[in-house]
Structure 1
Amino acid sequence: MDGTLVDTEPYWMATETAIAEQYGGTWTHEDAMSLVGNDLLVSGAYLKTKLDLDQSPEEVVEMLLDGVVAQVRHSVPWCAGSRELLLALHAAGVPCGLVTMSYQRFVAPILEHLPPETFRVIVTGDMVSEGKPHPEAYLTAAAALGVDPADCVAIEDSPTGARSAEAAGCRVLVVPNHVPVPEGPKRVFRESLEGLSPEDLARL
């Protein structure tokens, strides 16, 4: 979701910076980039260690979510072509699953802006025991959709997410956003989702 469907990474980065400033710590662009695509608990643990916070990683995650959800409720920053592609897939009857390491309370206000059942399956970071780059989330989504992962195209923007989808057996369409993604045997690259059709995805 983050970086492919909606460009919320700047929201996360702004919230991380605000937490650092609140607690008198230092937060760099490199710190922010290192967390892109991560399981939220991994990010929470990183922030706790980096900023020497008293809060647990779980509590840090809730602080992050508080800040980002408030920004999303104000404005949803759709990635170019993402909403149009989703609506075209929905109209064509293509079953779609949302696989994100964000938590349900962050996902909900974004999905309010899409037609019901746009995603037949939603797998969030608080629903799995192993976050990306582990394949559990993608395997869970494919099983819930009743399809073989090898018949799925995963759209990702980060190395962590691409590794997760690849490990699950999916073909991966990589649309890099904030961080570079290396080449891989099951990866196809595109600069944007603009102009992409369900037929284009089928050809992958």
Structure 2
Amino acid sequence: MTSPLPAAVLWDMDGTLVDTEPYWMAAETPLVERFGGTWTHEDGLAMVGMGLEDAARVLQGAGVRLEVDEIVAHLTDEVMRRLREDGVPFRPGARELLRELREQGVPTALVTMSMSRMARVITELIDFDAFDLVIGGDDVTHAKPHPAPYLQACAALGVDPADTVAFEDSLTGTASAIAAGTVTVGIPHMVPLDGVGAHELWPTLDGRTVADVADVLARVRQEVDA
């Protein structure tokens, strides 16, 4: 028997849909060094999945003498420049699964802590109508790991979080999706997600199908009912 489709699938962007995390980290290092500080790879990893305003405050603590909104704008502009120069670096299997979801009529939302202007640039570069909804970090009152971004997405789509599946690659994002009540699939990329509480961990989206997504939702529902 085929498992029923989710009411919606909610996608994180950086590191989950597209491999932009290295772009962010590459933008952070010269910014800190410009103000005489040092920035390590480990420092960058600690910021993966963080809301941009929170990340900007961390950079201020590392010596960047700019206002929060100036830091956010600078980092966003640098990542967008890389996207324009290099194109959209999709994570393995992400574009294919997203297309299959759309072909089967499953509503989709992009839920990212990047600025909405950057998220919309990426969605416009996808060669099919990929998302019903885009929520950026500047569209929410509380950043991940707060559940607000995913709750806002579900409310806008008119779906119960428990009937949705969320894809995440970061600690903060996974915590946000779980707290919102979604069925959360972790796809580790820059940081491990063991022990965070994701309902399932997939090493990659490559080869995954809509049937796999539906099966995860069905399994979690059965566990909850039991």
| TM-score interval for Structure 1 and Structure 2 normalised by the shorter chain | over 0.9
What is the CA distance between 1:162 and its match in structure 2?
0.5
In the other structure, the counterpart of 1:16 is 28
Higher relative contact order (CA closer than 8 Å, sequence separation 6+): 2
Does residue 70 of the first structure (1) align with residue 85 of the second (2)? Answer: no
Name which of structure 1's ranges 14-23 and 140-149 shifts more when overlaid on structure 2. Answer: 14-23
8 Å CA contact 2:32, 2:62 repeated in 1? no
1:64/1:115 Cα in 2 relative to 1: closer, same or farther (>3 Å)?
same
What is the CA distance between 1:186 and its match in structure 2?
4.6
Residues 72-130 of structure 1: CA deviation (Å, up to 9, x unaligned): 11121110000011111111100011100000121122111224542111111000010
* Superposed CA RMSD: 1.2
Distance in 2, matches of 1:164 and 1:45, equals: 20
3-state SS, counterpart of residue 112 of structure 1: helix
Does residue 28 of the first structure (1) align with residue 40 of the second (2)? Answer: yes
Distance in 2, matches of 1:69 and 1:78, equals: 15
Does residue 95 of the first structure (1) align with residue 107 of the second (2)? Answer: yes
8 Å CA contact 2:120, 2:134 repeated in 1? no
Alignment of 1:163-182 (within 5 A): 163-182=175-194
8 Å CA contact 1:156, 1:174 repeated in 2? yes
- Aligned residues between the structures: 203
8 Å CA contact 1:176, 1:191 repeated in 2? yes
In the other structure, the counterpart of 1:60 is 71
TM-score (structure 2 length as normaliser) = 0.87
Amino acid at match of 1:125: G
3-state SS, counterpart of residue 36 of structure 2: coil
Runs of 4+ with >3 A deviation: none
Distance in 2, matches of 1:162 and 1:169, equals: 11
Query: Which blocks of at least 5 consecutive residues in structure 2 are unaligned?
Result: 1-12, 217-226
Does residue 104 of the first structure (1) align with residue 116 of the second (2)? Answer: yes
